[in-house]
Amino acid sequence: MKNKKNKSKKLPKLDVNTKKRLTVFLGMSIVIFVALTFRISWIQFAPTVWGHDLQERAYRQQIATRTLTPRRGNLFDVNGRRLASSIELETVLVNPTRLRASDRSEIDRMEIARGFSYILELDYEEVYEIYEMLNSDSESVRIATGITHDRVTKLREWIGEERLLGITFAPDSRRIYPYHNIASNLIGFTRTDGHGAVGLEHSLDRLLAGRMR
């Protein structure tokens, strides 16, 4: 028997298209590596360069306060008929320092102001008031209060479509009187801060005022 000699297998030569694809892949890998290195260096050394500014911004965010209005109790007559009650609403809040798109890109704040005014059905002059609030240095500005559930739903859908960050909602309430002006002098009414001003709303304020737990 004759021994068969193993012939050495040669690697196939790469065609031009394959070489181009490998070159592009290598180039993209280098770009991504350089970008990641730059990003890590930025995170590592940025606090030493802008440490004071970052520390001040973090401090303002940590001490930012938000006043939540507790729901006020109902007022009934001797027959159990409701004379006064509170309905649940919401307040729209914006943090101008964090207002941007979800991809961290900047946005047209005038267009955002127009969006708020359109959904909330505000006057044209109020668009510029909202625009000024969106450009303030405050950590939290109140765009509107007493927003109904339907409006809040539309706002949330709009925020999702525009992919916006920095917009939040806080619980709110409004006092309503089913019998309107009947016995209004006796029942009284509440102030803007939610506490009773006159009548039973005032005299029974300690019992009716909500408590935060």
Domains of the chain, start order? 75-208 (3.90.1310.10)
pLDDT in the model for residue 158: 93
Separation of CA 81 from chain center:
39
List of E strands, the chain: 75-76, 82-94, 100-101, 141-147, 164-165, 167-176, 189-190, 196-198
> Which position has the token pair 């306060």?
65
For residue 173, name the pLDDT band (cuts at 50, 70, 90): confident
For residue 157, name the pLDDT band (cuts at 50, 70, 90): very high
Which one is predicted more confidently, 54 or 129? 129
- Across the range 142-146, mean pLDDT stands at 87
- Rounded to two decimals, the pTM is 0.57
Which one is predicted more confidently, 196 or 51? 196
Say whether pLDDT at 68 is over 70. no
- Across the range 48-61, mean pLDDT stands at 61
List of E strands, 79-157: 82-94, 100-101, 141-147
Say whether pLDDT at 33 is over 70. yes
For residue 153, name the pLDDT band (cuts at 50, 70, 90): very high
Which one is predicted more confidently, 12 or 74? 74
185 CB neighbour count, 10 Å cutoff: 9
